[in-house]
Chains A and B, each alone.
Chain A
Amino acid sequence: MTVCRYYLQGRCKFGSNCRFEHSDGGGSANRQLQFDSGRDNNPYKWSASQNNKPATNAQQCTPEEIVNGLSVMIQTWEQGKMWPFSCVALEKDMPCIPEFSDLSTDELRWEAYEMMKTSGNLNTYTENIKRLSNEYSNKRQMLKNPSASVRQQLIDFIISSRQNSSTSDSKSSIFKPSAFGTSSTPSTNNGISGGQSSNNIFGGQSSFGSSVQPKKTDNLFGGQSSFGAQNQTSGSMFGNNNQASASTFGGQSSSSIFGNAAQGSTFGAQATGGVFGNTAQASSFGQASTGQPASSIFGQSATFGQTAAPTPSSAGSIFGQSATFGQTAAPTPATGTVFGQGQSQPSSNPFTTNPGTQSGSLFGSTGFGTTGTSSTGSSVFGNSAAPSAGLFGKGQTTPAPLSNTKNTVYTPMDKLTADEKAQFEADHFTLGRVPIKPPPRELVK
């Protein structure tokens, strides 16, 4: 049966009485309900017939249909003169395609503002915008006319996204500490990239417990790891689950911060009474930290749990080339400017790439009033310097060679403010004034 072309545009006036087939590329029109103003003749008519479809979720389109519908979707996007720098999802409630990262109007305006401040003119900004527009336009073209391999990758992506969301309890899954183990399993090694499974630091294991997202941070369009040079190093960290065990993090498996990946509770979901004094149900790693005094070291910020799903968009290398725009990932917090190419790490601490993860310094210090599990800073990172950078980073970190870790984890003394220094020197942190920067090596006891 022929597909109704008005339905594809979302404006079929016959609704379910239409003689043509109503199936769309993305499932979104299933819930398209148009409002009735009652009086004036407006295009937004309410079609109550839409309500009669029960469990529309069951009538999902096949991935092939979705990919086929992409051409119309992109065309609508471009013809409608929609905001070009938007992320894209193929189905509602599903994660975005990694290649497209989000940039809002305010962010671009901020960029322009900063450029004006520094250079007094908008020439660089205009060039950057042009370049950005072209990049996005190219990406859209890839979706509009996908090559066979891109098609296949898109289809794989859709399938894996659906799998991941169905393994969680519901679309809006309630985060459970044990989610680490459960949701990750089906999502391992989808081979979207066709590369090593270790490519997905976050995807393969969903180790950060975001049970909904598959976080296939691998780019769809290329074959390379989304983490660029992180490949090898990150692989060693997570590629072998067995290896990513307690030993790396300096503790016995039972009380290890990270538990044992093999058990599926990678990040201390059961790190009860672990080094960091987690409460039984809420692993500090898995969730945002609370502002609780003393016991929560993460007084400042959630760490891994929240950063579980780094912007997949940020990590993509575009279409198989070495990461350019994708790697710099304009929107990620790591880079200094939206359009910067460089991986400018403002501070020497690799963990600052993950803005909230200042607690990376935890590993090196006992200054947080915990039990002395923290082996000397270097040993914690001795083996894992680079991988840990990849662990917490969003793939933006330039892989720091092992030897650099000591230099990059701690803040140099002279970079601390007086208040921060006082905090580090004190026996306990004062709530509300816990420093965000990691402590200096000298003050690590």
Chain B
Amino acid sequence: MTDTPSEFKIKEPPSDGITATKFGPTSSQFLLVSSWDTTVRLYDIIANNQRMIYNHSDPVLDCCFQDSVHSFSGGVDNTLKMYDFNTQSETIVGTHDKPIRCVEYGGDVNVVVTGSWDSTVKLWDPRTPCCAGSFTQPDKVYTLSVAGDRLIVGTAGRRVLVWDLRNMGYVQQRKESSLKYQTRCIRCFPNKQGYVLSSVEGRVAVEYLDPSPEVQKKKYAFKCHRIKENGVESIYPVNAIAFHNQYNTFATGGSDGYVNIWDGFNKKRLCQFHKYPTSISSLAFSNDGSVLAIASSYMFEKGQLDETPEDEIFIRNVSDQETKPKS
């Protein structure tokens, strides 16, 4: 895959599966990447070099920026770590009983949220830093997303829970996914009206938070990331979803190696990029929506292959043509 001005590969990518890619909150220059090689790396994508790297003792499953100076990460070592880029120092913030699968930062509430396979979600105050509460979910946490003061958690068994971060005393909404198979990823709309949920069955659902029936009628699902060959349709999990903050359009990445961009409100697909070398494990839009980071990393969905594909991160400068709603 040749580098072009619009798309290029990051140099010195992680040496094993990429679990998460996140952009900084304010600039599109820095990308945080966590990996199965136990590292968390900070890349400067304008200069295309690796700026910083730190380790956990075990593979890292998710990471996030708090601000341009601090990052949080957690993984198989059950530990949530905070890293300060200025002082290059790590702090152990806390632990779960089982691997931490999701780490997100809620800017409006100033809280770090972690979700783990021990079926709990924990909130952390980044200032101290310390634990601000632990909240049991009905099952292992697979994915979560923060929008404003709402937290949406997707667990095993297709459960979806909506929490109010300012009042975690009770679950705001509790439902089953409208898709029939395992939930893979949930991301909230930047306008906080709803969320997008993807499953292992090549399907994505768009749902709304307002429980009134008129709004609930608008929810829908569609099939994607499926490939038809010789009359048989191969169905791939949709691993990653990323929203464009301004346009509220979203990109999905699947194990078929494709990235699609969708306009959720007009129900149209805006664009499909070329096929990437292997499964897409993570997607991230920069804050201004001008750059899309695409992690192409085999996730062993089909078991061990003879030749494990390389783990790569592609940086693509996206245009309005690709991301802006047409109407």
Contact = CB atoms under 8 A, between A and B. Distances in A.
Bind each other? yes
B173 A356 contact: no
B201 A35 contact: no
A356 B156 contact: no
A113 B59 contact: yes
Nearest to B130: A432
Nearest to A358: B134
A34 B216 contact: no
A96 interface: yes
A308 B138 contact: yes
A417 to B, nearest CB: 12
Contacts of B271: 37
A174 B133 contact: no
B175 A171 contact: yes
Contacts of A32: 221-223
A212 B175 contact: yes
A443 interface: no
B131 A301 contact: no
B174 A303 contact: no
Nearest to A307: B136
A354 interface: yes
A303 B261 CA distance: 40
B182 interface: yes
Interface residues of B, number: 87
A178 to B, nearest CB: 12
Contacts, number: 268
B167 to A, nearest CB: 7
Interface in B220-237: 220-224, 226, 228, 232-235, 237
Contacts of A234: none
Max chain A Cβ within 10 angstroms of own Cβ: one of B19, B61, B119, B300 = B119
B117 interface: yes
Contacts of B221: 28, 31-33, 92
A213 interface: yes
B137 A34 contact: no
A287 B267 contact: no
B211 A104 contact: no
Contact of B171 (A83, A106, A113, A288): A288
A301 B157 contact: no
Interface stretch (B39-47, B93-101, B241-249): B93-101
Interface in A56-98: 76-77, 79-83, 85-96
A409 to B, nearest CB: 18
A112 B17 CA distance: 14
Contacts of A109: 17, 36, 299-300
Given A102-B156, A282-B169, A287-B171, A306 B135 contact: yes
A175 B171 contact: yes
A87 B158 contact: yes
Nearest to B221: A31
Given A105-B300, A290-B168, A36 B101 contact: no
Interface centre among B118, B128, B142, B182 (most CB of A within 10 A): B182
B112 interface: no
Given A355-B136, A356-B135, A28 B267 contact: no
A323 B8 CA distance: 52
B158 A106 contact: no
Interface in A101-131: 101-110, 112-113, 129
Contacts of B135: 288-289, 301-302, 306, 356
B53 interface: no
Contacts of B169: 279, 282, 287-290
A28 B120 contact: no
B142 A104 contact: yes
B283 to A, nearest CB: 16
Nearest to B125: A432
User: Which residue of A90, A108, A309 has the most chain B CB atoms within 10 A of its CB atom?
Assistant: A309
A82 B235 contact: yes
Nearest to A279: B169
B295 to A, nearest CB: 14
A26 interface: yes
B67 to A, nearest CB: 21
B180 interface: yes
Contacts of B223: 10, 32, 34, 44
Given A35-B269, A82-B181, A87-B157, A102 B140 contact: yes
B132 A291 contact: yes
Interface string B151-163: 0000011110011
Given A55-B217, A82-B235, A306-B136, 16 more contacts: A44-B222, A79-B232, A80-B201, A80-B202, A81-B234, A82-B200, A93-B176, A106-B19, A106-B61, A174-B211, A287-B169, A288-B136, A288-B163, A301-B135, A311-B156, A356-B134
Interface of B: 17, 19, 36, 58-59, 61, 76, 97-99, 101, 117-120, 123, 125, 128, 130-140, 142, 156-159, 162-163, 167-182, 184, 199-202, 211, 213, 216-217, 219-224, 226, 228, 232-235, 237, 262, 267-272, 299-303, 326
Interface of A: 9-10, 26, 28, 31-38, 42-44, 46, 55, 76-77, 79-83, 85-96, 101-110, 112-113, 129, 169-175, 177, 210-213, 279, 281-282, 286-291, 299-303, 305-313, 331, 333, 354-357, 432-433, 436
12 contacts: A80-B233, A82-B201, A83-B237, A86-B200, A86-B201, A89-B180, A95-B157, A96-B157, A210-B174, A288-B171, A306-B171, A432-B131
